[in-house]
Structure 1
Amino acid sequence: MVSTPQPTLRDRAWSAAAAVPDPELPMLTIAELGILRGVELVDRFVEVTITPTYSGCPAMAAIALDIERALHEAGIENTRIRLVLAPAWTTDWLTDEARAKLARNGIAPPGARGSNCLFDNTPVPCPRCESNATERIAEFGATACKSIWRCTACREPFDHFKCH
């Protein structure tokens, strides 16, 4: 009989933290967003490092509480959440699955990894009909990380997850 190795405390903590959904984009986990930066064992504590999508992100307090709850539910008691601002979060940290989930949920994902999309006037493809015939309606949407666009082909409004 072959025994399977038991996951380490760090592995269990990573799995629990990685499964936490983002409160503003609940179809994505904090791991898929790239907010979850690390899980380490430090001085008898499980220390989870997170980076906000921008320095004033109001969701970080809720995310920290959700991580602590997920760790507790996984049987992990001694925890610390560490918020780090450097290096600054970038949309390059979004996983391919996160980009696909955004599009499936009617939110245009940010430009391709490594692109200079902050200064790029390339049209944002419509997540519904994939047309490039789109126009920006407002620079800011329901959250600071999204802008509001409209497709002139299918006439549907949609959010665009801004690149940064």
Structure 2
Amino acid sequence: MDATTAVIETCQTMEAFTALMERETEAAGAMRLEDVTRIGDAKTALGKKLDHQILVLRHNKAVIAQLPAELRQRLGSLWERLDAAAEANLSALKRAEAATRRVIDIVVDVTKQKQQQGAISGYGRPSARYPTGRAPQPMSVAVNTTL
């Protein structure tokens, strides 16, 4: 594969990766966590592909320097756009994570409160008054008054 083709393919991967991150950022902002999860798997695969392509380009700097200026400029501008998308993506994912943690904390607090409301204080512990740990059960008593 020649250098021009390698750079063009890298540019295409960068465009696809940027678009995917922008979709994930939008989904995270709208708290569509199912979409975020689904996009995350594709993002991981595309990220690995891009890492490999960039590694190859970095090892061939002399060849890349000889490419047309227009192609090198496109690569640079795509890199800047990718960097901005990554920053926004990270920020959105952190906000979504924080919101999810808050929801989980609220659910845990409500659950604890419901459990505490349903519990009888001291129930189940032996004491001087209730040595078995249980309060006496109510019972019905009838007195036979006939002889």
Range of TM-score over shorter length? under 0.3
Higher relative contact order (CA 8 A, sep 6+): 2
How does the TM-score come out when normalised to structure 1? 0.23
Larger radius of gyration: 2
Give the number of the structure whose residues are more often helix, by fraction.
2
